[in-house]
Amino acid sequence: MKKLYIIAGERSGDLHGSNLTRALLSRDSSLSLRGFGGDEMKKSGVDIYIHYQQLAFMGFVELITKLFTIFKFIRLCKNDIEQFKPDAIILIDYGGFNRKIAKFGKKKGIKVFYYIPPKVWAWYQSRAFELQQNVDRLFVILPFEKRFYKEKCNWDVDYVGNPVLDAIKSFKADPDFLNKNGIDRTKKIVALLPGSRKMELKLMAPLMAIVVKRNPSYQFVVAAVNNLSEELYGELKNIPQVKFATEASYDLLSVADAAIVTSGTATLETGIFKVPQVVVYKMGALEYSVVSRLVKVSFISLVNLVANKEVIKELIQDKAEPEAINQELTALLNNESYRNQMLSDYDSVYKILDTGSASDNTARLMLEALNQA
């Protein structure tokens, strides 16, 4: 019986980790799985040692203030791995934490597989060499990543497809979603996806509230998460035309006419659901001054990065102002030719990404690598 230690430190990693777990167990039901993750991974068959909710930090300032806690969890993780004695460690996203565990695993002679590696192509590109040194197999989910690693460090990595497609293909819409959440289908529905982290909500919720107030004829619905306090949504909670759909972002996107989205995986999910969107993102002034000097790519949204052109408007930092957001929202809802061009570009992005199931492809390659050992 082979043992695998899986580490996912965020909710998206928990989702993709659960799909990967199911794919692994479908190929080898005798596998023993343990690690860091969440409810989805637990349901799929992983013995969860630490829940990702204890690990969710964002931004330089918060990371600095939580350093002691982070190092504590790294120490706990290393100790648990040594006790579990896995045949391989599977790392999923969560770069700052998982890069340290990759180095530890390599030092201990444990195979290290990295699924959905950190976006080193965007900034700190030198970390590609660190990954190459500490990771036995790298499984990337964006086509241009394979080319990047080959050109940067002559490393042949595996492009396995995108797990977001897996999640959406398996999604079954709730037929009673509108009634459950009191959503008025006679009005145009605008999805608000402000993020799933405290710092994101603190910056994005007030901005979105201003835009909502300028559009009383639309029905706005927030894709809320249950691991964050309602207070973080601020004034959005007190506006009558705003509804909250908790843990139901895919149901919301399946009925939305447009969306205002905080950058991240949500931009790609919104695009695959073919919802016209505007990407809006802010961070602290100090953090932005540092990040803007380090970023090596022209876009921040995955839709634009995959398409290699501007498919959706990105309103970042100083450009993320109510007037600009409102203007773009109006175009998304009322300019038919603008909407149609965006939807056509979404189709092109989908075709680029659709290479079968990322979870199945990754599970097959991981087990093949293990069995060759």
pLDDT in tens, 105-155: 999 999 999 999 998 887 778 899 999 999 999 999 999 999 999 999 999
What is the rounded CA–CA span in Å between residue 373 and residue 362?
17
Largest CA distance in the chain: 62
Asked if 77 and 100 touch (Cβ cutoff 8 Å), the reply is no
Hey, what are 96's tokens? 């700052």
- Residues in a beta bridge with 261: 193, 279
What is the rounded CA–CA span in Å between residue 69 and residue 91?
20
pLDDT in tens, 191-241: 999 987 788 888 899 999 999 999 999 999 999 988 788 888 988 999 999
Q: Rounded to two decimals, what is the model's pTM?
A: 0.83
Q: Going from the N-terminus, what domains does the chain have, and what CATH number goes with each?
A: 3-161+355-371 (3.40.50.2000), 177-353 (3.40.50.2000)
Asked if 231 and 170 touch (Cβ cutoff 8 Å), the reply is no
Asked if 353 and 271 touch (Cβ cutoff 8 Å), the reply is no
